[in-house]
């Protein structure tokens, strides 16, 4: 099956991972092509899936903020695949599409709180290459978040750093669900 620059196995051929795929379907509404590609290396796929589950199940930051972090770091990195996934994911987590459309103007938008702006400052800065995160970002975050929450914020950014590189390098094809969401809501970033 062609999901990217390399051929991957079909979901049926990867039946040993059905439990993981069902979890993705329940959370996202579809099985990501990136997962089907990653499953070509079973240990990588299992390890990554477990890491992603820990990060997405944070008890220190809300699911909508996790998705905004993932989206902003993916925009900063320029990964269209992850932008489509995280836009759709943010909307599923309760973020209004108007807010998604304003993410590049978050500092001047009434739709974003000071706390969200502080997180997005770090997320956009750390998605750049070279990384533009600074002590000032953390000084600001400490005004709003606990140390545990800040660690979880950086974990989301780091997870998507991997995913951005993975999907851009492989040329992973965007699935119909997130692609339709982006088109139906006229969402396009950098």
Q: What are phi and psi of 173, to 5 degrees?
A: -75, 135
pLDDT, position 190: 66
Radius of gyration of the chain (CA): 16
The larger pLDDT score, comparing residue 1 to residue 92, is at 92
pLDDT, position 75: 97
Topology (CATH) of 63-184: AhpD-like (1.20.1290)
pTM of the shown model: 0.95
pLDDT, position 21: 95
pLDDT, position 8: 86
39: which 2 tokens? Answer: 């499953």
Q: What percent of the chain has pLDDT over 70?
A: 99
What confidence tier does 1 reach under pLDDT thresholds 50, 70, 90? Answer: confident
Nearest to 8 by CA among 30, 26, 35: 35
pLDDT, position 10: 92
* Spatial distance between the Cα atoms of 33 and 53, rounded to a whole number of angstroms: 17
**Other C-beta atoms lying within 10 Å of the C-beta of residue 92:** 16
- Are 124 and 72 in contact, with CB atoms under 8 Å apart? yes
**Other C-beta atoms lying within 10 Å of the C-beta of residue 176:** 9
Read off the pLDDT of residues 53-84 as tens digits, 9 standing for 90 and up: 999 999 999 999 999 999 999 999 999 999 99
Domain boundaries, the chain: 12-56, 63-184
Nearest to 48 by CA among 30, 65, 32: 32
Partners of 2 in beta bridges:
7
- Are 185 and 97 in contact, with CB atoms under 8 Å apart? yes
pLDDT at 19 over 90: yes
Place of tokens 């997320």: 123
């Amino acid at each position: 099956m062609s999901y990217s620059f390399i051929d991957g196995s079909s979901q049926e051929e990867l039946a040993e991972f059905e439990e993981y795929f069902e979890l993705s379907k329940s959370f996202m509404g579809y099985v990501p092509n990136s997962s089907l590609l990653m499953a070509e290396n079973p240990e990588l796929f299992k390890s990554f899936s477990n890491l992603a589950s820990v990060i997405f199940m944070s008890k220190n930051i809300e699911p909508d903020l996790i998705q905004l972090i993932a989206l902003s770091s993916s925009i900063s990195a320029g990964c269209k695949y992850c932008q489509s996934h995280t836009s759709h994911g943010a909307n599923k987590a309760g973020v209004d599409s108007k807010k998604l459309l304003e993410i590049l103007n978050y500092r001047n938008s009434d739709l974003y709180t000071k706390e969200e702006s502080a997180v997005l400052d770090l997320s956009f800065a750390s998605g750049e290459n070279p990384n533009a995160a600074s002590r000032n970002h953390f000084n600001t975050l400490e005004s709003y978040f606990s140390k545990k929450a800040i660690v979880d914020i950086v974990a989301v950014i780091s997870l998507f750093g991997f995913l951005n590189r993975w999907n851009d390098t492989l040329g992973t094809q965007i699935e119909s669900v997130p692609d339709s969401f982006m088109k139906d809501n006229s969402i396009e970033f950098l």
